[in-house]
Amino acid sequence: MGWNNWNSFGCDVSEGLLLSTSERLVSLGLRDLGYQYVVLDDCWQQESGRDQHGKLQPDPSKFPNGLKSISDGLHDQGFKFGMYSSAGEMTCARYAGSLDHETDDAESFASWGVDMLKYDSCYHMGRIGTPLISFNRFKTMSDALKATGRNILLNLCNWGEDFVHTWGMSISNSWRISGDIYDSFTRPDDLCGCDPNVLSDPYCIAPGTHCSVLFIINRIAAIADRSIPGGWNDMDMLEVGQGGMTDEEYKAHFSLWAALKSPLFLGNDIRSMPAAALTIINNPAILALSQDPHGRSVTRVRRDVGKDLPLDEWGVGEMHVWSGYLQNGDEAVIFLNAAGADLEMSCSLAEIFTAFGPGGSAPHVQFDWAVHDLWAHRMDDATAEAILAAGTAEERSALLKKANWYNATETPYADGLRNEDPRLFGEKIGVVEAGGVLRATVKSHAAKVFRLRRIAKEGAKFKGKSIDRVAKDEL
C-alpha cells in the first residue's frame, strides 16, 4: 500500500511534491492505515541522460538535493521509498532506460536507499514475444537488485505481456496484468486494445493506456488465484478521487482492488482531495480484506452478461459475484453491478462456497452465516471535511482520535482481526441460513461488499465432531 504520483501528476514530479504528499499522508492518518510506500514514477531523470560514468542522474531542477535526501526524509517519516525505471533503452517518457545497464542502475537505486522498484517495459528493443525472452530481460534486474544486498521490492510493469502471471512470481513481488487504468468504470476505448477475456489474445497489439475498471476486473478473473503472499497480480494504481467516476463507482473500484489483493497505490493528489475520496480510501473494514493474513484473492463465482441485463451508456450490462476465504474462516463476498440499472442480486451459499466443493458439496453450505456490510461504517462527510480542513497536524490527529480511527502501525490488521476489532467488521445486517441465499439490491455501477461470519450453533456437528471443536480452516 502506498501512493504513486503518475495518475495525477504524470511527469510533473519534484522533491516538493513527494515531501508535501508524504506529510499529508501522515497527518490524514493514511500512513498509519498502511499506505507506506511513496513512489516516484517516470520523468525523475535529467534530460541529458547518463553521466560520464554511465550512471543515471536525477533532474537537478526537480530534485535539487538529490534522491538520497528524499529517501532519508521519507524514511524519517516512517515511509518506504519507491522509484521507477524501464527494461528498455528508454523509459516510457523517453528518459534513459535500464536495459543492459542493470548492475549500474541497481547499485544507484540501492545507494539512494530505494525500497521498491517499479520496472516498466517500454522501448524493449524487440526483446519480447515469448515468456522466456521477457523473463530473462526482467530477471537481469531482479538479480542485480539482489546482488546489491539491499531488500528492494520489484514491481514488474509489462502490462500482462508474455504471460507474466506465469513467471512473474519467480523473480518479482508483483506484476501488472493489464494496460494502464484510466478514470472510467466501464467505457471501452481503442487505447486498451486487448480482449479482456482472452489472456493469450493474439490480436492484442496494445495493452494500452485507457483500460476501464471493468476491463481490468475481467482481465484478472482467470488468473485471480495467482496472487499469494510475496507475489501479487497488480491491477494498476487507484483512480479514487480523480473525478471521472461516481462515488459508488469509486467504492466498487477500491473494494475490488482490495479483495483481489492488488497492491493499493493511491493515485490522486492527496493534498487536495474531496472528503468523499478520503472516506473511501480510509475504510479499515475494506483495507482488512486487502491485508488479510491468508493473502488469497477472491475469485469470481458468477458472471452474467447479456441475459436481458439493462445496458449502461456504453452498451455494457453485466454483473458478477466474487467470493473468497479469509484467515479467520470468514468469507468475503462482493456483488458487482456493472449494468445500466439497479438490480436485485442473489447468490446461494452453494455458489459462494464453490471453491470448497461444487454443487453444494462444501460443508460451509450447512452452516448459518451472519452477513456484515463492510461499507456500513464509512466515515461521515462532516468528520472527513473537518479532518481535511484542520489547520494543524495536531488538530487533525485529535479529530482522528475522536473518530476512533484505526492505526495499523500500532495494531497490524492481523492482530486487529484476531482480536475482533469492530472497526474491521462493518455492521451485521442479517443472516443467511444453512442452504440459503444471500440477496441484496445493488445500485447501477456499484458493489456491495460483505463479510460472512459463521454462526456456531449449539450442538451442531461437523463430520461427527462438535462444531466448536472444528478448526475454522478444516471447513
* Chain positions contacting ligand GAL, by CB under 6 A: 6, 41-42, 91-93, 120, 122, 157, 180
Q: Are 431 and 371 in contact (CB under 8 A)?
A: yes
Q: By Cβ distance, which residue is nearest to ligand GAL?
A: 92
Give the active site residue among 115, 120, 162, 373: 120
- Residue corresponding to grid cell 489474445: 201
How far is CA 238 from each of CA 184, 188, 235, 304, rounded to the nearest angstrom? 11, 18, 9, 26
Nearer to ligand GAL, 211 or 349 (CB): 211
- The H or E element containing residue 248 is helix 247-259
CB of 469 vs ligand GAL, minimal distance in Å: 50
Q: Report the DSSP beta bridge partners of residue 303.
A: 320
d(CA 40, CA 74): 12
As given in the structure block, the three cell numbers for residue 326 are 479469509
CB of 237 vs ligand GAL, minimal distance in Å: 7
- The H or E element containing residue 441 is strand 437-442
Q: Report the DSSP beta bridge partners of residue 466.
A: 461
Nearer to ligand GAL, 13 or 371 (CB): 13
- Going by C-beta distance under 8 Å and a sequence separation of 6 or more, which residues neighbour residue 232? 173, 174, 175, 261, 262, 263
Nearer to ligand GAL, 120 or 269 (CB): 120
d(CA 141, CA 123): 16
Nearer to ligand GAL, 182 or 325 (CB): 182
CB of 200 vs ligand GAL, minimal distance in Å: 20
DSSP 88: S
CB of 93 vs ligand GAL, minimal distance in Å: 4
**Cβ burial, residue 301 (10 Å; 0-12/13-18/19+):** buried
CB of 86 vs ligand GAL, minimal distance in Å: 8
Our CA angle for 73, 75, 77, nearest 5°, is 75
As given in the structure block, the three cell numbers for residue 256 are 475490488
Q: Are 199 and 178 in contact (CB under 8 A)?
A: no
Nearer to ligand GAL, 41 or 330 (CB): 41
Our CA angle for 307, 312, 313, nearest 5°, is 140
Is 180 in the active site? yes
Nearer to ligand GAL, 22 or 91 (CB): 91
- Residue corresponding to grid cell 497488480: 234
CB of 209 vs ligand GAL, minimal distance in Å: 7
- Rg of the chain over Cα atoms, rounded to whole angstroms, equals 23
d(CA 80, CA 71): 8
Is 120 in the active site? yes
- Residue corresponding to grid cell 502490462: 159
Nearer to ligand GAL, 134 or 337 (CB): 134
CB of 266 vs ligand GAL, minimal distance in Å: 14
Give the active site residue among 32, 105, 180, 236: 180
- Residues designated catalytic: 120, 180
